[in-house]
Chains A and B, each alone.
Chain A
Amino acid sequence: GNSVTQMEGPVTLSEEAFLTINCTYTATGYPSLFWYVQYPGEGLQLLLKATKADDKGSNKGFEATYRKETTSFHLEKGSVQVSDSAVYFCALNGGGATNKLIFGTGTLLAVQP
């Protein structure tokens, strides 16, 4: 079945450091891929998405590229800020007409000033 595997946290970085959070997936067909973020005290919200191979999703300085050959969708940011501290979830949509998402376990990012 479809599944998502992401790197375990917590990830602790200093402000302005480079961030990578790894995500790989297993899926039949051609899923769409997503990163969701959960800031402290808030609900999950969509950060970025990519719907087909080689697409790059980007938002708020974060980027992720849909790599079909390596079944990966790694999240990157060139210079993190304290305000980026949150839990990040990789997810996929197995297709069809619904937004039924399968999530990874989440990665806690803590950015220190």
Chain B
Amino acid sequence: GAGVSQTPSNKVTEKGKYVELRCDPISGHTALYWYRQSLGQGPEFLIYFQGTGAADDSGLPNDRFFAVRPEGSVSTLKIQRTERGDSAVYLCASSLGDTNTGELFFGEGSRLTVL
């Protein structure tokens, strides 16, 4: 597709379970970002990839959160031992290279609900 694609769009899980969220960026975009948006808040930065490597993971809240991008395209955000406080919309965005233009192209997000 032409835009950033995220799956699943909705995920309901139980506390303690493992979850994977997938992001397929715009073709040719080498930079990929994960953000988390809690209810009534703006998006909060989690992690940034340039190519295959995580260039900045300073926003990951703790070691239960991990993200990979093994081939420099699709990325997976992995959350272990989910907690109710992890409930949020997880947004993925991509951009061309590492140019500082501020233009991120966002997906529609994956809504995670932890019961």
State yes or no: do A and B come from one complex: yes
Task: Enumerate chain A interface residues (CB-CB to B < 8 A).
Answer: 4, 32, 34, 41-46, 49, 51, 89, 91, 93, 95-106
Min CB gap A40→B, angstroms: 11
A98-B103 in contact (CB<8A): no
Q: What are 29 inter-chain pairs, A to B, with CB distance below 8 A?
A: A32-B102, A34-B102, A42-B108, A43-B106, A43-B109, A44-B91, A44-B93, A44-B104, A44-B106, A45-B106, A49-B101, A89-B42, A97-B98, A97-B99, A98-B31, A99-B31, A99-B99, A99-B100, A99-B101, A99-B102, A100-B56, A101-B102, A102-B45, A103-B42, A103-B43, A103-B44, A105-B40, A105-B42, A106-B40
Near A by CB (< 8 A), chain B positions 57-115 give 91, 93, 95, 98-109
Select from chain B the residue with minimum beta-carbon distance to A102: B45
Tell me the count of chain B residues lying within 8 A, CB to CB, of chain A: 29
Given contacts A98-B48, A99-B95, contact A104 B100 (CB under 8 A): no
Given contact pairs A98-B48, A99-B31, A101-B45, a sample of 18 additional A-B residue pairs in the complex whose CB atoms are under 8 Å apart: A4-B42, A32-B102, A34-B102, A42-B108, A43-B3, A43-B107, A44-B91, A89-B42, A91-B102, A93-B100, A96-B100, A98-B55, A100-B48, A103-B44, A104-B42, A105-B40, A105-B41, A105-B42
